[in-house]
Structure 1
Amino acid sequence: MIQQFYPQTPHTYRFELNKDMHLSAAHFIPHDDAGNCQYMHGHTYFINITIAGDELDEMGFLIDFKVIKNLIHKKYDHTVLNDHPEFKQKNPTTEQVAETIWSTIQQKLNTLSNQPKCIQVVVRETPTSYVVYRPKAEDLL
């Protein structure tokens, strides 16, 4: 994988973890204005997840990298995004995918005693197009 550099979000946490991954998935946007995107097609998504916090767990991690990969890659790789329950009421646009990944990660982080926060998710759909999702401060409480 080519090393990517992503927009940074300022924060005051002591630690910042970044996890890159890629997955292959298909989707379609069932809307007349979506042009060719209304038809089933696939992407190799490149995803960067940024987690920050002040405290490490008993092993010395904010969170183990493999936990992040298992939450996202195992769930979505080689699937049709529209078939997932979380996309039944919303279209799996890159924006919605980024927000959904953030929500999935943050729900897991909320169960950890050291309380790290997911402060950014970048989803690259094509070599020239990506979305950055950053939660509002109140979403991190």
Structure 2
Amino acid sequence: MFQQNYPNVAHDYMYELNKDFNFSAAHYIPSEDAGKCMRTHGHTYFVNLTIAGDTLDHNGFLVNFSDLKQLVHGKFDHQLLNELPEFQGKSPSTEVVAHTIYELIQNALNQRTNQPQCLQVYVRETPTSYVVFRPKEHRNG
């Protein structure tokens, strides 16, 4: 993976981690006005997660990097996104994928005693197109 600069999120947390990874998946946008995106097609999605917090766990981690990757890669890699329960009743656009990844990550973080927060999910669908999802509010320290 190449070095990438991502948009910064202003926050007051002591620690911030960013995790890059990718997954390959197919999707289609079930709408007549989606043009050729109505047809099933695939992408190698590049994802960056921004996680922040003030307290480290017993290992000295905010979150284990491999846990973050497994949560998303393990669920979405080599899948037809439209068939996954997370996208039932939703169009798996890049915006919706980014929001869904946020929910998946934040729900897992909420189970941790050190309570880190997902501040940003960056999803690159193609070399020229990406989406950034940020929750409207995040708890600060």
TM-score for the superposition, normalised by structure 2 = 0.97
**5+ residue gaps, structure 1:** none
| Distance in 1, Cα, partners of 2:62 & 2:89 | 32
Aligned equivalent of 2:130: 130
Q: In the TM superposition, what whole-angstrom CA distance separates every residue of 1:28-81 from its partner, at most 9, and x where no partner exists?
A: 001000000000000010000000000000110011011111100011111110
> Identity of counterpart residues, as a percentage?
59
Give matches, 1:21-32, under 5 Å: 21-32=21-32
Give matches, 1:1-141, under 5 Å: 1-137=1-137, 140=139
129-138 vs 111-120, which moves further:
129-138
SS in 2 for 1:137: coil
| Distance in 1, Cα, partners of 2:111 & 2:136 | 20
Displacement of 1:86 in angstroms is: 1.1
Displacement of 1:15 in angstroms is: 0.3
Q: What is the letter of the counterpart of residue 119 of structure 2?
A: I
Q: What is the letter of the counterpart of residue 103 of structure 1?
A: E
TM-score for the superposition, normalised by structure 1 = 0.97
Q: What is the letter of the counterpart of residue 49 of structure 1?
A: L
**5+ residue gaps, structure 2:** none
Runs of 4+ in 1 over 6 A off after TM superposition: none
SS in 1 for 2:57: coil
| Distance in 2, Cα, partners of 1:85 & 1:63 | 26
Q: What is the letter of the counterpart of residue 42 of structure 2?
A: G
Displacement of 1:136 in angstroms is: 1.3
